[in-house]
Amino acid sequence: DQQVKQNSPSLSVQEGRISILNCDYTNSMFDYFLWYKKYPAEGPTFLISISSIKDKNEDGRFTVFLNKSAKHLSLHIVPSQPGDSAVYFCAARDSNDYKLSFGAGTTVTVRA
Partner 1 sequence: DARVTQTPRHKVTEMGQEVTMRCQPILGHNTVFWYRQTMMQGLELLAYFRNRAPLDDSGMPKDRFSAEMPDATLATLKIQPSEPRDSAVYFCASGFGQANIQYFGAGTRLSVL
Q: Contact positions toward partner 1, by CB under 8 A?
A: 32, 34, 36, 41-46, 49, 89, 93, 95, 98-105
Choose between 65 and 102: whose C-beta lies nearer to partner 1: 102
Nearest approach in angstroms of CB 79 to partner 1 is 26
Choose between 39 and 67: whose C-beta lies nearer to partner 1: 39
Nearest approach in angstroms of CB 66 to partner 1 is 15
Nearest approach in angstroms of CB 32 to partner 1 is 6
Residue 82, helix vs strand vs coil: helix
Residue 45 pairs in a beta bridge with 37
- Residue 5 CA, chain-centre distance (Å), reads 10
Q: Is 106:9 a contact under the CB 8 Å cutoff? A: yes
Choose between 10 and 45: whose C-beta lies nearer to partner 1: 45
Choose between 20 and 100: whose C-beta lies nearer to partner 1: 100
Nearest approach in angstroms of CB 100 to partner 1 is 6
- At a CB cut-off of 8 Å and minimum separation 6, what does 52 contact? 30, 31, 32, 33, 66, 68
- At a CB cut-off of 8 Å and minimum separation 6, what does 59 contact? 48
